[in-house]
Chains A and B, each alone.
Chain A
Amino acid sequence: MKPMLDRRHCLIASLVVAGTGLPLHRAFAQAVEKASAFVQQMGDKLVGIVNGAQSAADKRRALTQILEASVDVDGIARFCLGRFWRLATPDQQKRYLAAFHEVLVTNISSKLGEYKGVKLTVQRGRPQDDEAIVTTIVDRPNNPPTNVDWVIEQPTAAPRIIDVIAEGTSLRLTQRQDYASYLTRNNNNVDALINAMQQQTARSG
C-alpha cells in the first residue's frame, strides 16, 4: 500500500510541477528570447553609430538617444552611489543624476574611436532571478574577441539594460566601488563627488 501512495504522491507532485512549471518556463524562455532580440537590435544600432561616417557631435547625439531609450541610467546611477544615495539631499540627488548621465555618454563616446570596425554577435540568453542575461562576443580589429554579457531588467516589460559585464567585470559594480572609494577619501561629501564627475566630463568631453 505504502509504495502505491508514494507513487501517487510522485504523480501528483509531477503534475503540479508540470502544470505550473511549464508555462512559467515558457514565459521565461519567451522573455529571454525577447531580451536577446532587444540586445541584437540595440547592438546593431550601436555598431551602426560606431562605424558610421557622421561627425563626432552627431554620433554623441545618436548615442545619447540610444542610451536614454534602452538603458536604465537612473537605476544604474542610484546603484553606483550605494548607501550615499540615502544620505544625499534631494538637490544633491538631482545634480548627481544629471552628472551621471553626462559621465556615461562622455565615457562611451570617447571610446567610439577605438571601436572602429567593431562587430557584435549575440550568442545566447539565459534567465537569472528577475533578469535576463544575454551573452555577446565583441570583435574588433587588433584585439582578441571579448565576452560581453548584457543584463536586462524584467524582460517581460519593456526591456532595459541595467548592467554590462565585460570579461567577468561588471561595469556598474566597478563604478560603484570607484565612487565609494572617492567618497571615503573625501569625507563622504557627495558635493565633492559631483564636482569631480563634472570636471571629469569637462576634461574628456
Chain B
Amino acid sequence: MRAVVRRCRPVRFILLAACVSLAGGLAGCATPPPADDPDAVADFRQTNDPLEPTNRVFYKINDTLDTYALKPAAQAYRFVLPERVRTGIHNVLDNLGGPVRLTNDTLEGKPRRAGDTAMRFLINSTAGVGGIFDVAKSVGYPNHDTDFALTLANWNVPEGPFLFLPVLGPSSPRDVTGFAADMVINPFTWIARGQRVFTITSWTKTVLGALDARAEFLDAIDNVKKTALDPYATFRSLYRQNRAGKLETLRADNRATIPIWWPQAVSAQAASGGGK
C-alpha cells in the first residue's frame, strides 16, 4: 500500500504536514499490558505500535478513500488500458526515479548497485525511448528498489514506532524522513519549477503513479481484506516484513567492483582465497 502512494510526491507532502498536526491533536496512545504478564509485554514491545488507536483512525480514513476513489480508479485504469501500455507507463515512471536511486545507492556505499542504476538510466532513457522499454534489464542491468529511508536503515538509524498516515499509508518516523529527503534529492522536483508545463507534468506523473501502483496491488489488497481477521494488523505486519526484506537484500548485495581490465580469474581466486 505504501508503494501506492510513493509516487504522489507533492500531494503527499501537503498531506503529511496536515496529518502530523492532526496526529498531535488526536494523540491516542495504546494502553500497555500489565507489567506482571511478561509474555504480553514482550508482544506489545514487538508490535511497537504505541500510537495504535490514532493509527487505526487514519487506517479507516484511508480505507474509505481507497474504496471509493483510488480502487475504482485503478480498476478502470486496468480495464481501459492494454497491458503493454500500462507496462510502458510503469517503466517511464520507474525510470524517472533513477537519479534518486543512484544517489541512495551511492550513499549506501553499494558501487555495483549504483552502477546498475546509472546504466539503467542511461540505456533506458535513450535506447528505451524515454524509459518506455526496459532494455537495460535484458542486457544485464536488473532493477532494484531503494530509497533514503533504506539508506538511513543501512546507516543503523532506528525505525521508530509504527505510523499509519493519511494517504501515505503505513510508515515509520524513519520512512517519513526518507520520503521527504527523496523529494529533496529528486532533480525532477526542482527542474522548471513554477512553470505551467511543470505543474501539468508533475500532476500527470502523480496521478499515473498512484494508478499504476494501486493497479499492481489490486488482487493482493483484496485478498488481505478478505482473509485477515484484523486487516490493519496484517498490513502492519506485511509492511514491516517487506521493508526488512528490502534492507536485508540491500545489505547482502556486496558484489565486488572489479575493473574490466583486471584479470578476472585471478581476482576471483584472490576473493575466494581471502576468506581462508
Contacts and interface: CB of A to CB of B under 8 A. Distances in A.
A196 B39 contact: no
Contacts, number: 64
A168 B246 contact: yes
B245 to A, nearest CB: 2
B11 to A, nearest CB: 26
Interface string B94-110: 00000000000000000
Most A CB within 10 A of own CB, among B39, B228, B246: B228
Interface stretch (A48-56, A119-127, A179-187): A179-187
Interface string A157-174: 000000000011110011
B242 interface: yes
Contacts of B230: 178, 181-182, 185
A200 B229 contact: yes
Interface stretch (A21-29, A90-98, A106-114): A106-114
B223 interface: yes
Contacts of B237: 169, 173-174, 177-178
A135 B244 CA distance: 18
Given A174-B238, A179-B229, A167 B245 contact: yes
A187 to B, nearest CB: 12
Q: SS class of chain B's interface: helix, strand, loop or mixed?
A: helix
Interface string A174-205: 10011111101100000001001100100010
B219 interface: yes
B227 interface: yes
Contacts of B248: 168
Nearest to B227: A107
A105 B216 CA distance: 25
Interface in B214-244: 216, 219, 223, 226-230, 232-234, 236-238, 241-242, 244
A174 B235 CA distance: 9
Most B CB within 10 A of own CB, among A111, A173, A174, A197: A174
A200 B244 contact: no
Interface in B1-51: 39-40, 43, 47
Interface size class of A (residues with CB under 8 A): 20 to 34
Contacts of A7: none
B241 A169 contact: yes
Contacts of B39: 83
A96 B236 CA distance: 24
Contact of B242 (A103, A114, A144, A168): A168
Contacts of A83: 39-40, 43
B227 A200 contact: yes
A169 B245 contact: yes
A178 B241 contact: no
A20 interface: no
A180 B241 contact: no
Nearest to B219: A114
B245 A181 contact: no
Interface of A: 82-83, 103, 107, 110-111, 114, 142, 144, 167-170, 173-174, 177-182, 184-185, 193, 196-197, 200, 204
Given A82-B43, A169-B241, A182-B233, 7 more contacts: A107-B227, A167-B245, A168-B241, A168-B244, A168-B245, A169-B242, A179-B229
Interface of B: 39-40, 43, 47, 83, 216, 219, 223, 226-230, 232-234, 236-238, 241-242, 244-246, 248-249
Shortest Cβ-Cβ A-B pairs, 7 listed: A168-B245, A181-B233, A177-B237, A169-B241, A182-B229, A181-B230, A83-B39
